[in-house]
Amino acid sequence: MPLKPVLTANWADERAWTLAAYTAGGGYQALDKALAMSPEDVVETVKASGLRGRGGAGFPTGMKWGFLPPPDSADPHGGKPRYLVVNADESEPGTCKDIPLMMASPHTLIEGVIISSYAIKARHAFIYVRGEVLHVIRRLQAAVAEAYAAGHLGTDIHGTGYDLELVVHAGAGAYICGEETALLDSLEGRRGQPRLRPPFPAVAGLYASPTVINNAESIATVPAIVKNGADWFAGMGTEKSAGVGIFSLSGHVTRPGQYEAPLGITLRELLELAGGVRAGHRLKFWTPGGSSTPLFTDEHLDVPLDFESVAAAGSMLGTRALQIFDETVCVVRAVLRWTEFYKHESCGKCTPCREGTWWLAQVLARLEQGQGSEADLDLLLDQCDNILGRSFCALGDGATSPITSSIQYFRQEYVDHLTHGGCPFDPAASTLFGQEVRA
């Protein structure tokens, strides 16, 4: 299966981030096409394309847009204002696609924001980008300013009478703000803690108004769909997982990086393109969609990376964040570190996650040091059982994924820590500069 650059196609262009380069490559043509359509037709086009959310959950984007309540006919202003919020808080360990997208071609996202806002009849949109990526924020701010100056944003866009304001909003370091309702609280100037649903954001989102919140890659895909048509997009990928997506290969591969391909490609195919696992080593375990998706092993090289196939194999496609670990990596160390991450990032709102992630980290740390007993593995699984499905949001669920899957596939490796009296692995062997570390 070949690669298919769509979103990544212009990343190597000279000064790709500028309006001039983007326009020269055909940018903002989709906006003209969309503005000539009715908003409803744009929604229908996105529905028909089969685009599903690229932020991990895979919810159909057009359907999400369709959940907005119809404008209030009794109110001359049509009722409460509607908002579009872009989730560019990319923080899931392993996920690294939206950041290079916004760095290289911020206008792709901005054109998507304008078309999507027009489709859902929003007059105010926000890009919530994590704060820890300074140059990406610079590029977004500059691109938005260029788009205003060119008349793509502001009042009476392209003479159609449509008005849109777009604000680039920098976060301040909190993984939980990638959860859509926590993001909305954060955007309202509060601690980023998730909200009870229902009501869903489509009904009561930002400022309790109807709000669509989509991942940056999802919104950035909209211009290509409008430009090339729903059939073009639906014709790629699989029947239920349409289109292309950016696959991010990282870790022990020869050529880590971004590989844009139709959904349904396999890790075996991607690894072949990326030059394989680093020389002299073999695949041990990997994440299909970030650290919150259950681990896969070399048994899963041929699982088609689409939503259905990955779920059927016991994990989740997530954000297509393929973190590759070879045989030098201790799975217990890897899982402990992820668990410490979830513990640190738990927002504290609900007890199962706040307390549970602390207990998980303590028991795992004990095991990693070769202390405790084999019964601790059952204790861990019991703790996971008390967190999964009992937490307020998906952060708690995600925290259990690496633990349960690693015990499923590598139980013996946990036991080896106990018999060995500590970690049997040499941490220098997994680094890219073993000689420098050992010296």
Which residues ranging from 187 to 246 are in contact with another protein (CB under 8 A)? 187-192, 207
Cβ nearer to another protein, comparing 108 with 214: 108
CB within 8 Å of 117: residues ≥ 6 apart: 84, 123, 125, 164
Cβ nearer to another protein, comparing 110 with 230: 110
- By CB under 8 A, is residue 409 in contact with another protein? no
Q: How far is the CB of 439 from another protein (least distance, A)?
A: 10
Q: How far is the CB of 194 from another protein (least distance, A)?
A: 13
Cβ nearer to another protein, comparing 62 with 264: 264
Binding to another protein in span 29-68, by CB under 8 A = none
Binding to another protein in span 74-103, by CB under 8 A = 81, 90-96, 98-100, 103
- Which has the closest alpha carbon to 376: 424, 339, 331, 418? 418
Q: Which stretch binds another protein (CB under 8 A): 45-53, 164-172, 349-357, 365-373?
A: 164-172
Buried b vs exposed e over 91-113: b needs ≥16 C-beta within 10 Å?
bbbbbbbbbbbbbbbbbbbbbbb
Contact between 158 and 151 under an 8 Å Cβ cutoff? The reply is: yes
- By CB under 8 A, is residue 323 in contact with another protein? yes
* Total residues binding another protein (CB under 8 A): 94
Cβ nearer to another protein, comparing 109 with 329: 329
Quick note: the x/- pattern for another protein over 343-372, rule CB under 8 A, is -xx-x-------------------------
- By CB under 8 A, is residue 20 in contact with another protein? no
Quick note: the x/- pattern for another protein over 247-276, rule CB under 8 A, is xxxxxx--xxxxxxx-----------xx--
Cβ nearer to another protein, comparing 421 with 427: 427
Binding to another protein in span 287-316, by CB under 8 A = 291
CB within 8 Å of 315: residues ≥ 6 apart: 288, 289, 293, 294, 295, 296, 300, 401, 405
CA-to-CA distance for 166 and 296, rounded, in angstroms?
A: 40
Q: Among the residues of 261-350, which ranges form H helices?
A: 267-273, 307-312, 331-345
Q: Which stretch binds another protein (CB under 8 A): 110-118, 342-350, 376-384, 391-399?
A: 342-350
Exactly one of 37, 48, 150, 170 binds another protein (CB under 8 A); which one? 170
Cβ nearer to another protein, comparing 62 with 398: 398
Q: How far is the CB of 74 from another protein (least distance, A)?
A: 22
List the beta bridge partners of residue 221.
Answer: none
CA-to-CA distance for 283 and 82, rounded, in angstroms?
A: 47
Quick note: the x/- pattern for another protein over 112-131, rule CB under 8 A, is ------------x-----xx
Q: How far is the CB of 275 from another protein (least distance, A)?
A: 9
Exactly one of 84, 104, 114, 271 binds another protein (CB under 8 A); which one? 104
Q: DSSP label at 237?
A: B
CB within 8 Å of 337: residues ≥ 6 apart: none
Contact between 390 and 352 under an 8 Å Cβ cutoff? The reply is: yes
- By CB under 8 A, is residue 431 in contact with another protein? yes
Cβ nearer to another protein, comparing 179 with 260: 260
- By CB under 8 A, is residue 394 in contact with another protein? no
Exactly one of 68, 86, 147, 174 binds another protein (CB under 8 A); which one? 174
The angle formed by the CA atoms of residues 337, 173 and 200, to the nearest 5 degrees, is 100
- By CB under 8 A, is residue 428 in contact with another protein? yes
- Secondary structure element (H or E) that encloses residue 263, with its range: none
SS3 for 25? coil
Structure token digits, residue 230: 């729903």
CA-to-CA distance for 52 and 60, rounded, in angstroms?
A: 4
Exactly one of 57, 142, 311, 381 binds another protein (CB under 8 A); which one? 142
CA-to-CA distance for 184 and 179, rounded, in angstroms?
A: 9
Tell me the pairing of strands 165-170 and 124-129.
parallel
